[in-house]
Structure formats: C-alpha cells, structure tokens
C-alpha cells in the first residue's frame, strides 16, 4: 500500500487545544484527536494541512505555517566560516577539524531484511501477509526516521553555529546511478542533507554556498596543484609544496575557499590552510550527534581566515 495524501486549504480546518487535548477539525470529518509533535510558534499562521497515510497504516497531519519574523542578521562579512566535505565512512569532515562518522544502521537493516524474508514466505493477500507487510513498513519507517533525525541535527548544528557554510553541489542522483557501492551512496542521502542545510541556513540568516565539486579532492589546498589519488589513499601529500593533511580535510578547505570566493569575492580567500594552521581533526560518532542534537565539541577560535 503506497502513501495517500491530500491537501486542505486554510478554510477547511482548524487546530484546537481544548483542556490540554489537541484536536484537528476538518470540514468533512469533524474533530479528530491528534498527538502534536511540537507546538507551532505563537505567531505562526497555519496556511495548509496535508493529511498523509504512511504504508504502516498510520495517519499524519503536516502543517504548513508562515511566521512574520525575519531571520536573524548575520554579518555581511562572515567571521565563522566552515567548509564541509561529505562521504560514506566519514559522513562530514569540516574545516574546523570535526569528522562526523556515518550513522550505523546495520542492526536496523538486518531487522528489515528478516522481516522481508518472512513476508516472502506468506501467501500474498492473506491476513498473515498483510500483518507482515505492516511489519516491513514499520522497519522501513524506523530506518527513515533515524536517518532523518541524524541529518536534521547535523544540518541544524552547522546552520546555527556558523555565519557561512560551504558545501559541494553534488549530483546525488547521478552518483547513486554509478556502478558499485550504490547502496551506501543512496543511504548517505547527501541530497537530503544539502536541502536541509540550505533551508536551515536561510532560516537562521546564515550564508549558504554550494560550489563546484570538481577537483576538490585532487587540488592541494595550499598551492592548488592537482594530484591524482585513488580512493584508498586517505592522506593528501602534495608533491609540489609538501603540504600534508587528511584527504577529506584537504577537500573541505578547497570547498571553503571556493565558497568564500563565490560568495564574497576572490580577495577574501587568499590565506591558505598552511598559513592559518589546520586544526587537529576530532572524530565524532553519529550516535553523539543523534543523542546530543549536535557534535558536542567546544570550538576554539581558529584565527583569521
């Protein structure tokens, strides 16, 4: 059973809170008790309600709201800037030396595969088949919830902690279609992360810049000389200037330099990582991000960029 969804305009619904119980009034159905995930802002104007049924059989009401508040003002010449390189084993490696490991969903995938095998043994259309189909749908939903929770918290961290965020403008769909390791690339959900990061930066007034990803790994962040590196080589060592760094850290610095040039102009990105001193990389588990809501690290001032 696929998703069922319908949209209702603002004259066909009303959100009520009577005696501490939330209710949604729909013009054709009347009052429906609901569980509110979080309260809408006091100054929010609810414009639409989307009623959606998931494959699990559960119904959701998604509120579309407008708020009059303008995003907080960030400096026109941002001071706290970060470049982010995304990957598979290390999901995000940034220019402040934070390396966030990818979320381990192996247990959830194993439970999903067991549920799918059990479903394949049931007679299609029978009561037991329908019951097991709901189990499979729940396993899929569990995977999706945990992945989106991780991406929401990580993107919110970067949008709120920095004045400018630079990322690669990756063709996520095209990368998934490439042969080899497509499952891991699809599970990484880089496109979803970028979309979340972009709209949260807009909400927070943070400068968001997507840059051309071509050559960010090959180019030396210190001198700009390109050097071919197979995927298994995880360290960058420039034969021209001798600059050495983690492969992903080098890419992140190139992404930041391109982002500053694109957003503010070439004169703002003249300093190189060698001149500003690369921070020591700190590895952060995805579990830390999920439990704490962001990488629980105290960022030290990294000097002039």
Active-site residues, by number, are 85, 168, 248
> How many residues does this entry show for the chain?
305
What does each C-alpha distance from 15 to 11, 27, 32, 33, 159 come to in angstroms? 12, 12, 10, 10, 30
Q: In which order are the strands placed within the sheet that holds 282-284? A: 207-211, 164-168, 81-86, 90-94, 98-101, 282-284
Q: Which two tokens stand for residue 255?
A: 């992404």
Inter-axis angle of helices 127-161 and 190-204, to 10 degrees? 50
125: left (phi over 0), alpha (psi -120 to 50) or beta: left
DSSP per-residue codes, 218-280:
TB-TTT--B----TT--EEE-TTT--EEEHHHHHHHHHHHHHHHHHH-GGG----HHHH-PPP
Alpha helices in the chain (DSSP H): 106-120, 127-161, 172-177, 182-188, 190-204, 247-264, 273-276, 286-292
Collapsed DSSP state (helix, strand, coil) of residue 186: helix
Please state, as a whole number, how many other Cβ atoms lie within 10 Å of the Cβ of residue 296: 11
DSSP three-state, residue 297: coil
């Amino acid at each position: 059973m696929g998703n069922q969804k319908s949209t209702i305009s603002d004259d066909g619904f009303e959100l009520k809170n009577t005696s501490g119980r939330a209710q949604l009034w729909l013009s054709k159905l009347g009052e429906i008790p609901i569980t509110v995930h979080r309260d809408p802002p006091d100054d929010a104007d609810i414009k639409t309600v989307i009623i959606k049924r998931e494959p699990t059989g559960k119904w959701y009401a998604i509120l579309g709201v407008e708020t009059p508040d303008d995003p907080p003002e960030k400096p026109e010449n941002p001071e706290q800037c970060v470049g982010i390189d995304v990957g598979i084993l290390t999901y995000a490696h940034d220019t402040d030396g934070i390396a966030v490991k990818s979320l381990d969903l192996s247990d959830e995938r194993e439970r999903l595969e067991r549920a799918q095998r059990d479903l394949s043994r049931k007679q299609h259309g029978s009561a037991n088949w329908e019951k097991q189909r709901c189990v499979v749908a729940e396993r899929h939903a569990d995977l999706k919830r945990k992945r989106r929770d991780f991406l929401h918290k990580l993107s919110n961290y970067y949008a709120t902690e920095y004045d400018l965020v630079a990322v690669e403008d990756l063709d996520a769909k095209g990368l998934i279609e490439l042969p080899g390791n497509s499952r891991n690339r699809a599970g990484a959900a880089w496109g979803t992360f970028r979309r979340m990061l972009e709209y949260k930066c807009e909400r927070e007034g943070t400068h968001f810049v997507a840059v051309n990803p071509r050559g960010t790994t090959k180019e030396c962040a210190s001198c700009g000389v390109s050097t071919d590196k197979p995927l298994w080589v995880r360290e960058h060592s420039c034969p021209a200037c001798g600059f050495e760094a983690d492969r992903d850290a080098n890419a992140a610095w190139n992404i930041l330099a391109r982002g500053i040039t694109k957003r503010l102009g070439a004169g703002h990105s003249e300093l190189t990582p060698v001149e500003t001193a690369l921070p020591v990389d700190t590895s952060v588990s995805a579990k830390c991000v999920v439990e704490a809501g962001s990488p629980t690290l105290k960022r030290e001032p990294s000097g002039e960029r």
